Structure 1
């Protein structure tokens, strides 16, 4: 079972599924109905972005990578590159099924994602990589719901900011657990750049801010199912920050940190 979970994580399938669930959750809050083709397009976009990023990291790593995800992408580099090319073609074909407003916002996401990779290639030290990546992720899950909305309400903006903080915190927590692996692979991360203590303080600040925003979001809306889910999401990340010694085994930190984006699925069942 553990091998299956790690295989899913290495392929970024958990992140892809979590993005789809989060987008469906946003659609529920915004009160719009997204189509299957929109969610297929989102899944393809998120998977390609993450896979390309991991293939890039694997290519840059000198010798055999110690990080399990980088090692996986090193080992299956050619196979994954071929699959990514096929998935890209599928995504291009899926465009025919999307409404024009979604395609228009989707092109903005493509441009933003392209700028992200250009930034990674040109910057000697990608200081703001995690900020950029969190923004791309939230833009991705928001594209379909917002493209169908007639207006943009204040509570929706707050909800997107909450998801941005959660995504950014996720991208800070994982390298906090993998700092020694990154050092051994000579990989730069936010933790190797800023130090563990600074990143921990930043995480605590972000999660407290996120909690306050969730309280305000709960005040603005009567979505009773959404509020406890958001609290559970931020609480999970807070536990990972405060009690890291309990979650290193079997890469539980990855399961929980990436898994918070599955939690909005509970609201979809209500």
Structure 2
């Protein structure tokens, strides 16, 4: 029963949304940023809209019953999901009215970039790979940091450093999923980093990104001296270690898509800091 429920949670990207909002609150707490709940809610709704629209656009291309569950569920229930998108969009517009204008401006710029990219990838140049995973990782990390930037009104070096770690982790996460889902994506005609570059090269890139993450993580203790940094870096290295474990156990974790369960939970791990330490 629980497995079935969680399968739907993953299919509708609710675990990704949870990771974004928890990580955004976590980053804000480091700077004691007075981020209102409405800003965090707006981020969660926006992330859900982006992922859901992307899944709907991907679902148009499925060719067989061998498609991934998230694509099948969006394909079969497209009319209802479009209605839900309209409802969520209206709620988002209502929530945005309570936010500071400059934060809305930042969000609109980022949202417009995502909108243009999705249109370009799905409708303009459908047959060419345009680095979708890198773009999503970039936007996801920026979205997590955006509420903090909006409410402290500057970008301190440590925030850039946090963003870089989030970007590396998100990139590893996405390319790892591509690599594991290579055969399904290839059969369905989806362009991904793995289908274009190959599984072996994807694995090498993941290992390189993990190496970059470790170097970046280690260098923090040379450049930043804040006492709170140790707690945050402990969470970051835990997140990186979990993704490294998924890479090492990919064959075992293919069953029931456990690689996605564990991989997406990575961005929920900061809840440890938010609840048990800051709370």
Please give the TM-score of this superposition, normalised by the length of structure 1.
0.96
Q: Map of 1:61-76 to 2, 5 A cutoff?
A: 61-64=62-65, 66-76=67-77
Aligned residues: 270
Q: Which moved more, 1:130-139 or 1:216-225?
A: 216-225
CA RMSD of aligned residues (A): 1.4
1:40 partner SS: helix
Residue 200 (1) aligns with residue 195 (2): no
Cα displacement (A) at 1:148: 0.9
**Counterparts of 2:191 and 2:66, CA distance in 1:** 13
Cα displacement (A) at 1:27: 0.3
Q: Which moved more, 1:179-188 or 1:231-240?
A: 179-188
Match of 1:122 in 2: 124
Q: Which moved more, 1:103-112 or 1:215-224?
A: 215-224
- Are the aligned partners of 1:174 and 1:254 in contact in 2 as well (CA < 8 Å)? yes
Following TM superposition, where does structure 1 have runs of at least 4 consecutive aligned residues deviating by more than 6 angstroms? none
Where structure 2 has 5 or more consecutive residues not aligned to the other structure, the ranges are none
Match of 2:10 in 1: 9
Match of 2:212 in 1: 209
Q: Map of 1:171-182 to 2, 5 A cutoff?
A: 171-182=174-185
Q: Deviations over 1:138-193 (max 9, x none)?
A: 12112111111133211110110100111111110111111111122222221110
Residue 149 (1) aligns with residue 155 (2): no
- Are the aligned partners of 1:20 and 1:39 in contact in 2 as well (CA < 8 Å)? yes
- Are the aligned partners of 2:145 and 2:159 in contact in 1 as well (CA < 8 Å)? no
Q: Deviations over 1:170-227 (max 9, x none)?
A: 1101111111111222222211100001000000000111111112224413222211
**Counterparts of 2:153 and 2:196, CA distance in 1:** 42
Match of 1:56 in 2: 57
Please give the TM-score of this superposition, normalised by the length of structure 2.
0.93
